[in-house]
Amino acid sequence: MNAIEQVFEHNRSWAARMRASDLEFFDRHVRGQQPEVLWIGCSDSRVPASVVTGLGIGEAFVHRNVGNVVEPEDANGGAVIECALEELEVRHLVVCGHSQCGAVRAALAGSARGRLGAWLAPLRTLFAAERGRLEALAPGPARERAAAELNVRRQLANLVALAPVHRAVNAGRLRSARGWLYELETGLLHELEVLAFERHTGARDG
């Protein structure tokens, strides 16, 4: 059985288990979604949001790209953020990077070319500005982790500067924006930064 055949086999088994354990499972999700969290993470196959957080189906709206970048001119990311905040009215924003990140490593080395190189240009700019701090650390995992943490903080700053975020804060819908780092070596999430917003009474609580 090849990889694609395994996907469909696993899917059929999963669907059967869900129906057997909860007859209303699929009917509930057909009726809509009301996630509390927007997760912006890296495309890395080792960091699936629902797996590492334990959140179930319908509990997180997810956007992933190479390097967990929040780029103001990115139409795709911008559409996800607007949908999450203005249509789904999520309560919490999360930017999550991770250790051993290939995007961070490539940006540090300046080795990426083509579209990937262009996409990672903001990371290269960030790391050049923080060169003294990064080069004080030995090359390898320690430097890469520090760079990944810097990247999370920068992308979180980019996120909260966006107009849809300002609108959600002013409307009293948004509770927090958080920067996290997932540690591949241990499987643990580490909170790097929390921005809490003033709480207002609204239709939803959370």
Show which residues are catalytic: 42, 44, 46, 98, 101
DSSP letter assigned to residue 138:
P
What is the torsion angle, in degrees rounded to the nearest 10, for the CA atoms of residue 73, residue 77, residue 82 and residue 87? Answer: 160
The DSSP 8-state label assigned to residue 117 in this structure reads H
Query: The dihedral of CA 170, 55, 40, 180: what is its sign?
Result: positive
Q: Are strands 188-196 and 92-98 parallel, antiparallel or unpaired?
A: unpaired
CB 60 within 8 Å of CB 52 = no
Residue of 93, 82, 70 lying closest to 167 (CA atoms): 82
Strands (E), 77-151: 92-98
Contact 155, 96 (CB under 8 A): no
Phi, psi torsion values for 28, nearest 5 degrees = -60, -45
